[in-house]
């Protein structure tokens, strides 16, 4: 696609043409030639949508709840974009049909744009692709963008970090409480929802979650974790629970809430919508939305640079006969890994130094 065609596609998207939006997201997902220029052109038109991440273990009822959230927002006259992400599957075929069925109440509503995205063998870049798809929906003019992930592992954690508000779903008696501690979900959740609250064990799960959140806010508190210890934060630069800091004024700290819903019947959804609105208002009132955006963009810039430099290194390795040939030389003691790294990076460093001069 040439520059003129890319600009035309961007203009069609900005004019509200759904086909153009679908094409842009496909290019983003496939990392097709020209997608970066398209996303770059869209960037100045973003920053208006409220992005909600919904995660949790499979079977927690995420798709049903997302369907209800989308319907409530539509009843309020807002437009909605939904991205359902499946990091574990290389193909979207079966997932699309299943998600379409669970999103049945919004089928046919042109103001609810639904898209399934899959890893397609590129897990590392899926969070960036999701972020780019969010930008497309934002530039298109969607008021609310909901990102749903299939599970609650590290890949999903990376993806939902693209959201302004993170909702974590747990089903009663599933043992998800311990799993969340292990996966690091506890640290990024703004709202915790015990879905299928009409099942046995719901009140116990609520109590367990509230106890965990209390311990997260007060590390000196004791918590019965069933033999699992609270994990260290995987990244010191990550946002803490509620995006707060122990030294910040109390009114500037969001206290994560634990809510109960029965998504199938819609019970508790209005309260969840209200809490989402409260968190959105808190983000604006405290300046946290802008702070989180800066943090996300800093992480995105680093990720893009690392990916681009990795591609340059791969090209240089291929030019030198491939990494296997170099490894063989190391095995034969003709050279060593550090010398190889210096030799490969040398031309890249020279180019960078030349640009500085």
Give me 83's structure tokens. 């991205």
Distance, CA of 108 to CA of 114 (rounded, Å):
11
Q: How many other C-beta atoms lie within 10 A of the C-beta of residue 274?
A: 11
Q: CA-CA distances (angstroms) from residue 141 to 21, 41, 145, 226?
A: 11, 15, 10, 46
Would you state the pLDDT for residue 157? 77
3-state secondary structure (DSSP) of residue 58: coil
- 312-323: burial string, b at 16+ Cβ within 10 Å, e else: eeeeebeeeeee
Strands (E), 104-152: 112-118, 144-149
Distance, CA of 172 to CA of 197 (rounded, Å):
7
Distance, CA of 57 to CA of 120 (rounded, Å):
21
Radius of gyration of the chain (CA): 23
Distance, CA of 263 to CA of 39 (rounded, Å):
35
Would you state the pLDDT for residue 133? 95
Distance, CA of 160 to CA of 99 (rounded, Å):
18
Nearest to 165 by CA among 231, 114, 86, 241: 241
Q: Measure CA 334 to chain center.
A: 45
For the chain, the helix, strand and coil percentages under 3-state DSSP, each to the nearest 5: 55, 10, 30
Strands across the sheet with 50-56, in order?
A: 112-118, 80-86, 144-149, 50-56, 165-170, 191-194, 257-260
* Domain range annotation of the chain: 46-286, 305-356
Would you state the pLDDT for residue 91? 47
Distance, CA of 24 to CA of 22 (rounded, Å):
6
Per-residue pLDDT of the chain (357 residues; tens, 9 = 90+): 789 999 999 999 999 999 999 999 999 988 899 999 999 999 999 999 999 999 887 888 899 999 999 999 999 999 999 999 876 655 444 344 344 445 555 555 678 999 988 765 455 567 888 999 999 999 999 999 999 987 766 667 777 788 999 999 988 876 655 556 555 677 888 999 999 898 888 888 888 888 888 877 665 654 444 333 444 444 434 444 444 454 555 568 899 999 999 999 999 999 999 999 999 999 999 999 999 999 999 989 998 999 899 999 999 999 999 999 999 999 999 999 999 999 999 988 888 888 886
Q: CA-CA distances (angstroms) from residue 160 to 115, 139, 245?
A: 16, 19, 21
Would you state the pLDDT for residue 344? 92
Q: What is the residue-wise DSSP string for 146-157?
A: EEEES--SHHHH
- pTM over 0.85, yes/no: no
For domain 46-286, the question of CATH label 3.40.50.300 is answered with: yes
Name 221's Cβ contacts closer than 8 Å, sequence gap at least 6: 214, 215
66 phi, psi to nearest 5 deg: -60, -40
């Amino acid at each position: 696609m040439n520059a003129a065609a890319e600009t035309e596609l961007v203009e069609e998207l900005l004019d509200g043409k759904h086909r153009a939006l679908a094409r842009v997201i496909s290019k983003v997902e496939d990392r097709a030639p020209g997608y970066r220029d398209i996303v770059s052109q869209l960037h100045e038109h973003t920053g208006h949508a409220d992005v909600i991440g919904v995660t949790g273990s499979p079977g927690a009822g995420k798709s049903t709840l997302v369907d209800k959230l989308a319907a409530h927002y539509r009843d309020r006259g807002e437009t909605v974009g939904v991205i359902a992400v499946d990091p574990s599957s290389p193909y979207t075929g079966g997932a699309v049909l299943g998600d379409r069925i669970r999103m049945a109440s919004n089928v046919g509503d042109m103001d609810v744009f639904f898209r399934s995205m899959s890893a397609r063998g590129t897990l590392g870049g899926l969070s960036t692709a999701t972020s780019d798809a969010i930008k497309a929906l934002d530039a298109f003019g969607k008021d609310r963008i909901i990102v749903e992930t299939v599970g609650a592992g590290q890949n999903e954690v990376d993806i939902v970090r693209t959201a302004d508000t993170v909702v974590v779903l747990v089903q009663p008696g599933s043992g998800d409480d311990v799993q969340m501690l292990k996966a690091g979900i506890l640290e990024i959740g703004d709202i915790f929802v015990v879905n299928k609250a009409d099942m046995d064990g719901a009140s116990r799960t609520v109590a367990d979650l509230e106890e965990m959140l209390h311990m997260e806010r007060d590390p000196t508190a004791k918590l019965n974790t069933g033999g699992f210890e609270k994990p260290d934060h995987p990244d010191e630069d990550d946002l803490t629970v509620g995006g707060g800091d122990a030294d910040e004024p109390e009114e500037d700290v969001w206290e994560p809430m634990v809510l109960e819903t029965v998504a199938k019947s819609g019970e508790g959804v209005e309260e969840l919508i209200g809490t989402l609105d409260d968190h959105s208002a808190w983000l604006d009132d405290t300046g946290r939305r802008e702070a989180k955006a800066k943090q996300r963009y800093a992480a995105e810039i680093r990720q893009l640079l690392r990916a681009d430099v990795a591609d340059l290194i791969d090209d240089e390795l291929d030019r030198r006969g491939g990494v296997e040939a170099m490894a063989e030389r190391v095995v034969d003691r003709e050279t060593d890994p550090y010398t190889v790294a210096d030799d490969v990076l040398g031309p890249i460093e020279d180019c960078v130094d030349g640009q500085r001069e």
